[in-house]
A and B are shown apart, each in its own frame.
Chain A
Amino acid sequence: MVAFIVRRVIAAVLMLAVVSAATFAIFFLIPRALGQTPEGMASRYVGRDATPEAIQGAVKRLHLDDPLIVQYGRFAKGIVAGEDYSLGPRKAECPAPCFGYSFNNNQPVWPTLLDRLPATMSLAAGAAILWLIAGVSIGIVSALRRGTALDRAAMTVALAGVSLPIYFTGLVSLSVFAYTLGIFPGGGTYTGISENPVAWFQALVLPWITLAFLYAALYARLTRAGMLETMGEDYIRTARAKGLKESTVVTKHALRATLTPILTIFGLDVGLLLGGAVLTESTFSIPGVGKLVIDAIRGNDLPVVLGVTMFAAFFIVLANLIVDILYAVVDPRVRLS
């Protein structure tokens, strides 16, 4: 088991290295390959109307005229060990993990990211709890009552849930519950939990429900399909042949097998959301990582986009790692291979 974990951790680190190389390639190698000069790259750092001297300064400071492989080495080193951009009297130390500075406000990217993380985490965690409980239980009941009116109603709602985009359900819920009925506050009212827990909660209710609705619909369908498949397995027949009560057959034998793959998907989905719930955050104007990256893309803020990409990749790889290890704990067949 220890060897297994060590193997997976090494694989995860390698994965991150690959992702960083790919990200670097997308943002630096491809533009250069398409004919962009170091000066052209540098002009994006210093603004549109910069003087040639300022551009040359940026090329020097950012080492944009180095061979790309050296630049990548510096990029990777910045993430791992930090980077010193000081040039002469201008001091600019960027501690690890360094993703450089935002074009828009010259703030270091990493602290900005950390600043945005609590909002994203609040959103993801609340929604995840909601959709896991709702989706899985609806899926189980639907499978066990297959073909009944209850099953059909649940699956119709679920189909709507997976088909309707977040910005639609989000805006509808805002207009009904916030602007018409006034039960919940409208968009852009997010408050940190440490500042005002009540306001934090109120501002997040609608985003939680909106985000959870989509995922709950997805999970209900997944769980139902998994449960139906499991109930047809030979070992379920064996459990019945032993004389087990049907309730025990379902809870002890069928659920165990159905929920294991769901757990995997759950881990990955949460990991994905921690890298920014882009649509939900922008619909409700929640200042999370997703909102940050949308604004950065609009503002051509390359270092921030790059930082968020790596940040999101980190969470996905981490989630993968945790899920792999958990899977080995719950499924004895995995440990061998």
Chain B
Amino acid sequence: MTTAPGSSAPDSFLELRDLRIHFPTEDGVVKSVDGLSFKLDRGKTLGIVGESGSGKSVTSLGILGLHKGGRAKISGEIWLDGEELVGASVDHVRTLRGKKMAMIFQDPLSSMHPYYTVGAQIIEAYRIHHKVSKQVARKHAIDMLGRVGIPQPDKRVDSYPHEFSGGMRQRAMIAMALSCDPELLIADEPTTALDVTVQAQILDLMLDLQREFNSALIVITHDLGVVAELSDDILVMYGGRCVEYGSAEDIFYRPEHPYTWGLLGSMPRLDREPTDRLMPIKGSPPSLINVPSGCAFNPRCAYEGRTGGKATTEVPQLAETEGGHLVRCHMPPAERRAIWENEIKPMLEST
């Protein structure tokens, strides 16, 4: 599946156009990503938010080309710095991985090889793309460990992943991902495995490093709180699709999709028990094999009755409501805004 006729290189550094990643399985086709489009510029941060199972990880691995050559059916376009990657060869995309684009994973303990030292793993990452001696690469690894705030990097370089604390391991992962100065960095739930104070440190670190490297950053999370300060733009994902997209201000101060309201209401808060959410979303995310017809969110939506039956029959379009703010919902914009202003916002503020 190469470039669709008429499409041309975009101005943005990264642009996804109608990306679809489907997995044929014995139970049916899993439509993990089903028509996702967005743009991202250098120096900017995009937050992708959604409950687990909404297709966030598949999207990020898809951008890195890690589903290529497998059983996944991939269509659409991924443009990175003027190059289209869905149609590019497996080998070519591999040469971009690590150097042009890199990734930080959720669980740093399982994501690092238990039998190799942290240093060896960073050195390996560096030497894939730089033909330098081991000594030079080792100096670079120590330097990177120092930059991500690991004390005594010249000693810790020879430690094994299990000898690090969770936060230090995630720092080491970041050092590894950044070792080749990637222009696009994708962090998939980078702080989910960490406790709250360490979470904040890691997020600060990523923001600092992004400024320093001027890279494009995608932060993926199921927790809106994580991307609140970090993101320029936020994309809310549900059932393999974008249901709301806008600037961080749009999403936090003028959200229009009932699912986003639910995410805002279920944000963990520091002054509460993690289990004590304001307004959890009832029900569970849909199976991506049998996505509900019409609006995928309709079985869980409190406002499903307000769309004149369209919620179960017709797939809502992702439509602009105002200044680049996109919403996928049948309710008229005025009604959505009224519900936000009069019902949801007062409820969130009162607690």
Contact = CB atoms under 8 A, between A and B. Distances in A.
The finding on whether chains A and B are genuine partners in a shared complex, rather than unrelated, reads yes
A332 B115 contact: yes
Contacts of A96: none
Interface residues on A, range: 20 to 34
Query: Which of A238, A240, A257 has the most chain B CB within a 10 Å cutoff?
Result: A238
A183 to B, nearest CB: 44
Interface in A313-337: 330-333, 336
B152 interface: no
A134 to B, nearest CB: 25
B230 interface: no
Given A244-B124, A333-B160, A238 B111 contact: yes
Contacts of A331: 114-115
A12 B198 CA distance: 44
A234 interface: yes
B228 interface: no
Contact of A235 (B64, B114, B128): B114
Contacts of B117: 332
A244 B128 contact: yes
Query: Which of A233, A237, A245 has the most chain B CB within a 10 Å cutoff?
Result: A237
A257 B110 CA distance: 13
B66 A237 contact: yes
Contacts of A260: 115
Interface in A220-235: 233-235
B98 interface: yes
A233 B95 CA distance: 22
B114 A234 contact: no
Nearest to A260: B115
A192 B160 CA distance: 49
Interface residues on B, range: 20 to 34
B105 interface: yes
A245 B91 CA distance: 8
A170 B94 CA distance: 50
Contacts of A257: 113-115
Contacts of B124: 242, 244
B97 interface: yes
B125 interface: yes
B102 interface: yes
A253 B124 CA distance: 11
A243 B98 contact: yes
A149 interface: no
Contacts of A245: 94
Contact of B66 (A233, A235, A241): A241
B125 A242 contact: yes
A256 interface: yes
Contact of B105 (A237, A333, A336): A237
A240 B112 CA distance: 12
A242 B115 contact: no
B277 interface: no
Contacts of B97: 240-243
Interface in B156-173: 160, 162
B110 A234 contact: yes
A239 interface: yes
B257 interface: no
Interface in B84-129: 94-99, 102-103, 105, 107, 110-115, 117, 124-125, 128-129
Given A234-B107, A332-B160, A333-B162, A241 B102 contact: yes
Given A237-B66, A332-B162, A242 B98 contact: yes
Given A244-B124, A257-B115, A333-B160, A235 B94 contact: no
Contacts of B114: 235, 257, 331-333
Contacts of A332: 114-115, 117, 160, 162
B105 A238 contact: yes
Nearest to B173: A238
Given A242-B124, A243-B125, A336-B162, 6 more contacts: A235-B112, A241-B98, A256-B113, A330-B115, A332-B114, A332-B115
26 contacts: A234-B105, A234-B110, A234-B111, A235-B113, A235-B114, A237-B111, A238-B111, A239-B113, A241-B64, A241-B97, A241-B103, A241-B105, A242-B98, A243-B94, A243-B98, A243-B125, A244-B98, A245-B94, A253-B113, A256-B113, A256-B115, A332-B114, A332-B117, A332-B160, A333-B160, A336-B162
